[in-house]
Chains A and B, each alone.
Chain A
């Protein structure tokens, strides 16, 4: 039973398009939700969200959390081929403050 569900599993867009990636999660003592970008190698950290409704933004990427509906979205505007990657969502909840439960990721392909 998946605790973190990401959608879509994969997505193909053209440069310049805007994309929205979704992440829904279960909650047992929710602490935070994190987004990572994984190109061919290691996942790299993008955002950590702890409060509902507060948008985190970095350049063309932004993310927001809805703790009532138990989901988060990651938006990428004006996509570039360099945005092609797997985007991973992870939840930290429960009794530990270190354990991250990852979703399976969304594979984004941006074509020129």
Chain B
């Protein structure tokens, strides 16, 4: 079974530039998450999708971050314009929507450095 795919693995940009990250979840997983992980901290949820609808985006900085999940499969997270504090690893995860399933499957992440 293929895992969660993310790209690019690494990205370096100047502040005020824009960047986009792509995620393809495990086939059949209706729930998709984007997390931000700053060095030395645990992941912080940015947005959660159920199919192509948003379940929770309460911690997404909507003035600069946007995310979409067209057709309920793969997803894109965009940052525009980037700030220095956006330097982090952006993790995508997916899960089966069954209520009592415990497991989230994560991709390897996209490491962003903002200079």
Co-complex (A, B): no
| Residue ranges of B at the interface with A (Cβ–Cβ < 8 Å) | none
